[in-house]
Amino acid sequence: MRKFGWLGIAALAFAVGGAAQAETVKIGVVLPFSGANADLGHQIDKAFDLYVKLHAKDIAPHKVEIIKRDEGPPTGAQAKTVATELVTNDKVQILTGFVFSPSAIALAPVVTQAKVPMVIANAGTAWITNLSPYIARLSFSMWHHAYPMGAFAFSKVGCKTAALAYTDFPPGKDSTEAFKTGFEKAGGKVTEAIPMGSPVQVPDFTPFFQRIKDAKPDCMYVFIPSGAHATGVAKAYGELGMRKAGVKLIGPMDLIPDNKLQDMGDAAIGTVVMGNYAVDLDNAENKAFNKAWHEAYGKDSYPDFMSAAGWDTMHAIFDTIKKLDGKVGDGQKVIDAMKGWTGKGPRGTVTIDASTRDIVQDEHAMEVIRKTDGKLGVKVLGTTKAVKDECKELKLGRCGS
């Protein structure tokens, strides 16, 4: 007995006296791995895995233990269940992932109560970050793309009139509201706004687009939750011959995710989007990121804007672990450490705004072109540096609360 007591004290002394105690940080990842939107989850998951693989040494001697759960359909219910389990049963110290806004919205009260930081890697409805002081976002707000797109569409793309079509859930309404605000401020006229059903399944877009084609606006601004929906949009737009009929396709970059772009064919050429990432963005970090991605996942697999945000999300989490020396038990300290974080990633330099906990990043207007190697790609038409979430800057609606 006595002997064991001494051993215990010795072990304790060793632990306390060691230069750095090796902590294992538990991170809960909630991403859609099933259903029609599973590829969105995989795009982020691959980026997470890649970052952890390549940068595990950065946080040594600390380690991360990643527990993955299925976010389920874009309704929020399943995400809330699995994330609550992660917090209460698995005792994760940081939650991340979250492709869909309804998931993040449903979970906000839970993370507030549990004081567990929630680092969002995609969900983009602007006011999500206002829902809990424990939320930080590394992806974007809908307003990052849609609001500047309004002015750009009017002055540079030549849209005097535009019809809006959106998937009927919070980010769809948010994105079209943002575009409308920017577009009307610039002098454009919105002819109509058409909800196109739920995000759970990819609808047949034809009846909606046919109506817009018959109404002949200059441009059609479309928001869909990327992925398979984006392929559906390109297909319906191409089939209906809308470009020939004089209706230009514009939107946030969700329309042309890089991992779907090559399948879209000629229908996508000429599409103008506003966004924070494309495989073709010219910066050193992006080149390295793409190289690592192709080495890990093959030459036909492409990262997209969700992957880029996933990469930066893990980067911010790792930097925070390093900064706190692995002691991430206090959620408030973790969130405080993230405020003002800045890093260089595939999207260039990104910062977490200390006051809003939302991202500040460069926005690029991009046009889809056929590149000289025969593949589809984008041409950058213009770049705005360090864009903040305009919804919270202008304190509009729920962004002001």
Partner 1 sequence: MPQFAIIAVSILFDGLAYAMFLFITSVGLSVTMGLMGFVNLAHGAFAMAGGYIVVTLTRTLGVGFVPSLVIAAVVVGAASVVFERGLYRRLYRSTDLEQVLLTIGLAFMAIATATYLYGPIPKSVPLPDWLQGDVNLGFRNFPSYRAFLIALGVVLIVVLWYAFERTNIGAKIRAAVDNRRMAESVGINVDRLFTLTFAVGSGLAALGGGLAIQLFGLSPSFAVLYLVLFLIVVAVGGLGSLKGTLLAALVLGVFDTAGKYLFSDAGGFFVYAVTVAVLLVKPAGFYGRE
**Binding stretches for partner 1 (CB under 8 A):** 33-36, 38-39, 42, 168, 194-198, 201-204, 206-208, 210-211, 214, 228, 231-232, 235, 238-241, 263
Q: Whose Cβ is closer to partner 1: residue 162's or residue 196's? A: 196
350: phi then psi, degrees, rounded to nearest 5: -125, 150
Residue number with CB closer to partner 1 (46 or 62): 46
Question: Using the 8-state DSSP alphabet, how is residue 229 labeled?
Answer: H
Q: For residue 380, which amino acid is it?
A: V
In sign, the C-alpha dihedral spanning 370, 374, 380, 386 is positive
CB of 95 to partner 1, least distance (A): 23
Task: Compare residues 38 and 328 and give the one whose CB is closer to partner 1.
Answer: 38
Tokens of 359: 């991202």
Nearest distance from C-beta of residue 255 to partner 1, angstroms: 16
Nearer to partner 1, 234 or 324 (CB): 234
Residue (107 or 164) nearer to partner 1, CB: 164
Nearer Cβ to partner 1, position 50 or 242? 242
Q: Please state, in angstroms and as integers, the Cα–Cα distance from residue 26 to each residue in 53, 92, 148, 245, 257, following that order.
A: 16, 5, 38, 54, 30
Beta-bridge partners for 348: 345
C-beta closer to partner 1: residue 147 or 205 = 205
Q: Kindly state the smallest distance separating residue 249's Cβ from partner 1, in Å.
A: 15
Q: How far is the CB of 179 from partner 1 (least distance, A)?
A: 17
CB 360 within 8 A of CB 384: no
Q: How far is the CB of 304 from partner 1 (least distance, A)?
A: 14
Residues 303, 285 contacting (CB under 8 angstroms): no
What is each CA distance from 221 to 136, 159, 282, in whole angstroms?
28, 10, 26
Shortest distance, position 228 Cβ to partner 1, whole Å: 4
Q: Are 166 and 172 in contact (CB under 8 A)?
A: yes
Q: Which of 38, 75, 124, 76 is nearest to 305 (CA)?
A: 124
| Paired strand residues for 137 | 120
Helix (H, G, I), strand (E, B) or coil at 353: coil
Q: What is the spatial distance between Cα 27 and Cα 97, in angstroms, rounded to a whole number?
A: 10
In the complex, least distance from residue 241 CB atom to partner 1, rounded to whole angstroms: 4
